[in-house]
Amino acid sequence: MNGIKLCGTGAAAPVKVVTNDDMAAMVETSDEWITTRTGIKERRYCTDETQLSLCMDAARQAMDRAGVSPADLGVCLVATISPDFITPSVSCLLQRELGLPEDCLCMDLNAACSGFLYGLHTAQCLLDACPRKYGLVVGGEAFTRLVDFTDRTTCILFGDGAGAAVVRSGPDCPVLHTVVGARGDEKVLHIPGAGTGVPPYIHMEGTAVFKFAVETVPKCITQVLEQAHMTAEDIDLFVLHQANERIIDRVVKNLHLPPEKCPKNIARYGNTSAASIPLLLHELCASGALKPGMRALLSGFGGGLTWGGAILELDGEAH
């Protein structure tokens, strides 16, 4: 099977910035509590933007940076749990907006915050069977539409945003070593669906999710490294789901990873669910921290419960 390489990234965030002091005006909380318990200082909320407009913006940038035209794309996958419509899918609307060929496989994925990792894994498999060799993988959320702004235990955590990646499949691309996992459980984290008579807001047992994350993510990273016959020293950067700074720090500590290899942007965006990993990945590519030929290990966890990890190499010709 052909592997994939990362060729270009993009990201988009709404204009409206909501600080911890703004949150404290809505619910009984404080900048001090949010900062020490989560590492979040601010997040972005959609006003004029939609989930689709964020995804379009990020996808266009990723295609520009990869130097690909719509006709090059064989696969378009969007990871999201907060689309503007249940149907049509976001990926179908991207087909129209980006002018993708009608035989480009367009599909949305629901794996909550692990969605981008599920998307990369799926893109590799689908592209191997596709005559066109480029794929678009987007993670985009207008997550704040799923937040109960009277529940201080959840509303302070989340924000809106999107990140996108163009990947190339080819015999010269290393196989994407991936671990994806699922353990069905609606007790610790769920969002009710349409027709249930309950508003579609996130319900979460924070401590149980925290425990799940600090157990699962290190295990997942270790498994991906083992699968690739690599050690942490072979990885240039670890791009971890930005859910809570304390979770990231625990993972870094448990695995003895060098903190400078584990960048964070949670202070500026909060938890953007499926957008979190591609948003950070884009910042690292755009700043030059992740250079052509370098390897990033991406890992995250989320509702489902789901988790995932993947080792992705930046293509030599990317910028």
**Would you tell me which residues interact with ligand COA (CB under 6 A)?**
29, 33, 37-38, 113, 152-153, 156, 204, 206-207, 209-210, 213, 243-244, 271, 302
Toward ligand COA, which CB reaches closer, 188 or 294?
A: 188
Q: Mark whether 265 is an active-site residue.
A: no
Say how many CA atoms lie within 13 Å of 185 toward its Cβ.
16
Least Cβ distance, residue 258 to ligand COA (angstroms): 23
Least Cβ distance, residue 293 to ligand COA (angstroms): 31
- Amino acid identity of residue 12, one-letter, is A
Tokens 């480009």 found at:
104
Structure tokens that stand for 195 in this block:
């027709």
Q: Mark whether 271 is an active-site residue.
A: yes
Q: Mark whether 113 is an active-site residue.
A: yes
Q: List residues bridging with 299 in a β-sheet.
A: 240, 309
Least Cβ distance, residue 109 to ligand COA (angstroms): 15
Toward ligand COA, which CB reaches closer, 152 or 319?
A: 152
Per the CB < 8 A criterion, the answer to whether 175 and 169 are in contact is no
Per the CB < 8 A criterion, the answer to whether 3 and 133 are in contact is no
Toward ligand COA, which CB reaches closer, 46 or 113?
A: 113
Residue 231 class from Cβ within 10 Å (0-12 exposed, 13-18 middle, 19+ buried)?
exposed
Least Cβ distance, residue 222 to ligand COA (angstroms): 20
- Amino acid identity of residue 268, one-letter, is R
Least Cβ distance, residue 33 to ligand COA (angstroms): 4
Which residue in the list 46, 173, 177, 241 is annotated as catalytic? 241
Per the CB < 8 A criterion, the answer to whether 276 and 139 are in contact is yes
* Burial track 292-317 (b if 16+ CB lie within 10 A, e otherwise): eebbbbbbbbbbbbbbbbbbbbbbee
Tokens 């689908």 found at:
126
